[in-house]
Amino acid sequence: MGSDSDRSRSLIDYLGRASLPCKSEFAEERPLYLIFVALPLPLIFPIYKRYLRGTSIRAEKPRTLFISAAASVLLGSANGLHMFRSSRSG
């Protein structure tokens, strides 16, 4: 049976190493390639489709702009206050 370290491997780690039986450096780095390269890769297609369509010319309503600006100011000031308080206590 396997040791405790074999049982504690994550699913991605297990699947990444299962197809490479040799102990190479690539086998160690394969889960990182899977997470940071292969999983975000499908995002290229919707971004490219949006690029092909071009910019949309639509007028935003003033009320929508005001709500967006008010939410940004509120969240920004809350974040600034939190950062100021946490820097003084630490």
Phi, psi torsion values for 68, nearest 5 degrees: -65, -45
Residue 65: pLDDT band with limits 50, 70, 90: very high
Distance (Å) of CA 53 to CA 44, 45, 62, 70 = 14, 13, 25, 30
The structure's pTM equals: 0.38
Query: What average pLDDT score do residues 2-29 get?
Result: 59
Distance (Å) of CA 2 to CA 8, 54, 57, 67, 74 = 10, 55, 61, 57, 53
The domain limits of the chain are 1-56, 59-90
Query: Across the chain, what does the average pLDDT equal?
Result: 77
Residue closest to 13 by CA, chosen among 36, 24, 1, 29: 29
What's the rounded Cα separation, in Å, for the pair 74 and 86? 18
